[in-house]
Structure 1
Amino acid sequence: MGLEIEVRVEAEVYPTEDPEKVLEAVKKVFPEIDFNVKWLDGSAVVEGVGKDLKVLENLKRLIRERRIRTSARQILKSSILGDSLIFNLNKQAAYAGKISFTEPYLESPLPPIKVEVRSDDLEAVIEWLTEI
């Protein structure tokens, strides 16, 4: 599939969290992205950007393994804002090598992993991520 795509992943690190563990969590879901830990005023943020559909292959595999394609498709379709698809993943689930879609700060006191996908055909990206 020759889609133009940009994937931006960001995870805020709370003072009670180990930045290395947060880095490990995002890498378990997005191993194809090079991440950096940025410090600003004593707070850290793990962030990375990928420019290829390949960076979403592991997310696709995790969706398939958990057998949540239908619910993932609904969540992702409802997360389209213009030319962006913005969704959140639970950080603790990611650290365990699993995925769980979440709303910011509702299900966990820890901030989520924020994922933003930009493409001129987000519907095709969602279909690819959740195909059988």
Structure 2
Amino acid sequence: MRLDWDAFIAAVQERGEYPSQKEAERASRVVLALLGAHLAGEVRAELAARLPETLAYVLLNPLQAHEPLPPERFIRATAAWIEGATEKTATWAVSAVLSVVADIAGQDLMNHILLQLPPGYDLLFGHPRPS
């Protein structure tokens, strides 16, 4: 099921409590560009197929990561790419975007996504794993 652009951005805007759609769009683009650098193969393609077309393109053409970033560095990278962001606001942005991604991905795909990411990303997606 592919979520349309308006529904995706509206969900991010609501969860991130953004005053404007533009801020939700910017957060979505940055977080998905960084996430795309961490995912590979069928997992990235399957997630892209569920995103609005514009955001699927962002995920499939990611910012380059030389190594998988642990969650705290992913947040710092997000802060660096969003003008005026702090680590606190970047954490909020990452959580808003990735929780919407988790909802559209479903449990099976989320399990595959989390297998490709360093430990700790389950919390960023809002899907904590039992320890």
* Shorter-chain TM band: 0.3 to 0.5
Bigger radius of gyration among the two = 1
TM-score for the superposition, normalised by structure 2:
0.34
Larger RCO: 1 or 2 (CA < 8 Å, sep 6+) = 1
TM-score for the superposition, normalised by structure 1:
0.34
Higher helix proportion, which one? 2
